[in-house]
Amino acid sequence: MPPKLDVISVIKLFRPLLEKIDIDNVPEEPSHQMELLSENRQYIISGLEDCVLSVCRRNFKSKANGFYTFSYKEYEGQPIYFLNIYVNNSLFVSNSPGLRIERRRTIIHEFTHCIAAFLSIGRLLTDKLIDDLVKALISRVKINAEVHYQSLLIQFENAASTIALDIFPDEHFRLGYEDFDYSFSVVYKQLTLDRLIFEKYFTDDLRAKFINAIKKGNTANASAILRQALSELIANEAISADFINLRLREELIAYYYRKAS
């Protein structure tokens, strides 16, 4: 039985696999990017050594940005479980910032579905589970301190709603076979932007300046320091400003604010 995971351990386990997908170089069908989970010891420990992640882009008849499927095959008596991510070719007509954001958003969304499937497969492999997984996947396709803190939040309050940002609730991803007590919606948001990614741009120097501004009660300056990190973050990581504002308000501002307390 694989170890039980929380959000942090799920991110740590699966982010390296996600990072192998280059949003600007997804192969077009019939070519596929194939990642064998048997090549990583941690996936073997998690019971995923017979799993393969496949990624490609192709023409869609619908306007959907992407979808994923599960398939099961045997080769010389060896079971192979395929998680397949398909991305709409319409997202690759250019490398505009808007399309790059949509590509990354789509890939992470479908990859979060795959995580739910991986956790189900790793928990228990039976013929019934395989049949049920296929059916489930098919159905899815179809303080002053407090005043200062609130003041800082208000400066980032115009973030779009989670619906507008295509952030789906836990039940959208969950298959029902996972031994996972946390929210897959949180997993999606953490994969898209967590502190590890944010601090590539919100550097030690900027963090020190931010903390100093907060200690002085200068929230306007603190906000300006935060925003210094955003343009490069948006460009390099293909994350929308609205999504970044959302993550700042729901987690990141609170974390760095506590550092100044």
Q: pLDDT tens digits for 31-40?
A: 999 999 999 9
Q: pLDDT tens digits for 170-184?
A: 999 998 888 899 999
Cβ neighbors of 75 (< 8 A, separation 6 or more) are: none
The per-residue pLDDT for 155 is: 53
Among the ranges 119-123, 156-160, 200-204, 211-215, which has the highest mean pLDDT value? Answer: 200-204
State how far the Cα of 129 lies from the Cα of 192, in Å rounded to an integer.
29
Q: Are residues 136 and 26 in the same domain?
A: yes
Place of tokens 């590539």: 200
Q: Are residues 133 and 152 in the same domain?
A: no
Give how many domains the chain has, as a whole number.
Answer: 2
pLDDT at 30 over 80: yes
More confident residue, 48 or 139: 48
The answer as to whether 254 is a domain residue is: yes
Q: Are residues 160 and 172 in the same domain?
A: yes
The answer as to whether 204 is a domain residue is: yes
Q: Are residues 28 and 101 in the same domain?
A: yes
Range of the domain at 251: 143-180+193-261
Q: pLDDT tens digits for 93-114?
A: 999 999 999 999 999 999 999 9
The per-residue pLDDT for 144 is: 42
Helix, strand, coil percentages for the chain (3-state, nearest 5): 55, 15, 30
The per-residue pLDDT for 93 is: 97
The per-residue pLDDT for 102 is: 95
State how far the Cα of 199 lies from the Cα of 197, in Å rounded to an integer.
6
The answer as to whether 185 is a domain residue is: no
CB atoms within 10 A of CB 233: 18
The answer as to whether 27 is a domain residue is: yes
Q: Would you give the distance in Å from CA 171 to the centre of its chain?
A: 16
Q: pLDDT tens digits for 191-243?
A: 999 999 999 999 999 999 999 999 998 989 999 999 999 989 999 999 999 99
CA angle 55, 60, 61 (to 5 degrees): 155
